[in-house]
Amino acid sequence: MTRSRYPELVRTVLTANRLLTPEQVVDKPVVVVEGGVIAGIDSRTHAALPAGRHVELPEATLIPALFDVHIHGSGGHDTMEATDSALNHIGAFLARHGVGAYCATTVTAPLDSLLRSLSGLAKLIESPLDGARPVGIHLEGPFLSSHKRGAHPESQLLAPSIALFERMWQASEGNIRVMTIAPELDGADETIAYATRLGVRVSLGHSDANADAARRGVRAGAVTATHTFNAMRRFDHRDPGLLGEVLTNDDLFAEIICDGLHVDPDVVRLFWKAKGLERALLVTDAMAGTGMPDGTYWLGELEVRVKNGRCIVGEDTLAGSTLTLDRALCNFAEFAAAGFAQAVTLATRNPARMTGLDAEIGTLAPGRSADIAVLSAKNEVIETFLRGEPQLVPSTQGYFNG
């Protein structure tokens, strides 16, 4: 009998109906996981099942765990609480919806509170947490246009400057991975260029920019756009503004909130035609009320009313969503008449590439962390494996056999 080189590693063998990644489709896949890492992917038709804990999911589709680059909270908690309890609740909730990684997204708040949240999040990003893992921070505000601030409190908006950004960068211990900024603001160009040099992915949004200002933002380093259509100057055929740039610049990534409330399904189709399989990103912009009953929830320091899934501040300003990313996949496939596999790419590979984390996140392949969402025949999430461990059904009572 040959002894394993890694006798301490538990081997798990997943079998399913189909495996979908941005690169391949495998029928009757056999996925071997050792020590939380994918050791091999093969098709059952030409592979005898290796020994190990066998998990048989004969109806299921396996996809890479999803990655949300714009999410404020879920399950009753907001990322700006920046406590391990809050992030454990959020992480566990997200794992139930197939998500393996996310950018903890902040909103505009008094500078001291924002700095406190950034430094709290920095500590948590380094520590072990339940469920989906925060892989960086998305700083949404305070460098936003007062005309397109959405729910962000006007009194706390600030003019962009390198000095101010540097304070936030220091507080975050270098964990700001994405920053939303309005490129037309004084000081935006140099702040974008500075953040870009530090490796931050700059996202244009909450902006009243005309086309020139939008292009200046791109020249300074911006690579993506925040919830396209929402909180942007309206498109006009004589004044295309930021939207014109976002929809026609093939180098720019672009987020969309595909909940049927933020953007009309017909406009989602237009977005798909413009941005396509390489550049479109599905995000949720979800807030604490996601997965919770109607009521009042915090978004940073804002009180938001949630009624029938709509998140409202003041009279009728949308303040985040109650969308989950698994739902966004199905909505996008329906609204845009895209294939489901294409929708998966928009919530796995594309956000991974946009953030520069594509060596770790966004596909299933040998050597990668075994972060796998398991979908039913109706594409509903029935299990999520993170680092090889099931998150929904505890392994002690689960389907392990053999």
Active site residues: 285
Q: Name residue, tokens 């009624």.
A: 307
The residues, any chain, with a CB within 8 Å of residue 272's CB and separated by 6 or more, are: 280, 332, 336, 338
Q: Which is nearer to Zn ion, 140 or 189 (CB)?
A: 140
How far apart are CB 256 and Zn ion at their closest, in Å?
Answer: 13
Angstrom distance (rounded) from CA 344 to CA 349? 8
How far apart are CB 311 and Zn ion at their closest, in Å?
Answer: 10
Per-residue mark of binding to Zn ion, 262-291 (x: CB under 5 A): -----------------------x------
List the one residue out of 348, 380, 399 whose CA is nearest residue 100.
348
Name the token pair of 103: 């950018």
Segment lying near Zn ion (by CB under 5 A), choices 46-54, 138-146, 231-239, 349-357? 138-146
Q: Which is nearer to Zn ion, 20 or 132 (CB)?
A: 132
C-alpha atoms less than 13 angstroms from C-alpha of 234 in its C-beta half-sphere: 1
Q: Is residue 130 part of the contact set for Zn ion (CB under 5 A)?
A: no
Q: Which is nearer to Zn ion, 70 or 368 (CB)?
A: 70
How far apart are CB 105 and Zn ion at their closest, in Å?
Answer: 5
Count of chain residues binding Zn ion (CB under 5 A): 2
Segment lying near Zn ion (by CB under 5 A), choices 134-142, 250-258, 330-338, 376-384? 134-142
Q: Is the distance from CB of 326 to CB of 336 less than 8 angstroms?
A: no
Q: Which is nearer to Zn ion, 26 or 283 (CB)?
A: 283
Q: What is the helix (H) or strand (E) element at residue 167, kind and residue range?
A: helix 162-171
Angstrom distance (rounded) from CA 234 to CA 228? 11
Name beta bridge partners: 57. Answer: 16
Q: Name residue, tokens 């969402």.
A: 373
Cα–Cα distances (Å) from 300 to 77, 169, 232, 249, in that order, read: 10, 19, 21, 32
Give Rg (Cα) of the chain: 21
How far apart are CB 281 and Zn ion at their closest, in Å?
Answer: 13
Q: Which is nearer to Zn ion, 41 or 257 (CB)?
A: 257
List the one residue out of 136, 119, 140, 133 whose CA is nearest residue 176.
136
The values of phi and psi at residue 310, to 5°, are: -95, 135
Q: Which is nearer to Zn ion, 204 or 375 (CB)?
A: 204
List the one residue out of 287, 292, 333 whose CA is nearest residue 313.
287
Residue nearest to Zn ion (CB): 285
How far apart are CB 132 and Zn ion at their closest, in Å?
Answer: 17
Q: Which is nearer to Zn ion, 78 or 383 (CB)?
A: 78
Q: Name residue, tokens 């469920």.
A: 131
Cα–Cα distances (Å) from 172 to 106, 119, 169, 288, 318, in that order, read: 12, 5, 5, 22, 28
Per-residue mark of binding to Zn ion, 139-158 (x: CB under 5 A): -x------------------
How far apart are CB 313 and Zn ion at their closest, in Å?
Answer: 13
How far apart are CB 300 and Zn ion at their closest, in Å?
Answer: 10
**Is the preceding omega at residue 351 within 30 degrees of 0, hence cis?**
no
Give the binding site for Zn ion (CB under 5 A).
Answer: 140, 285
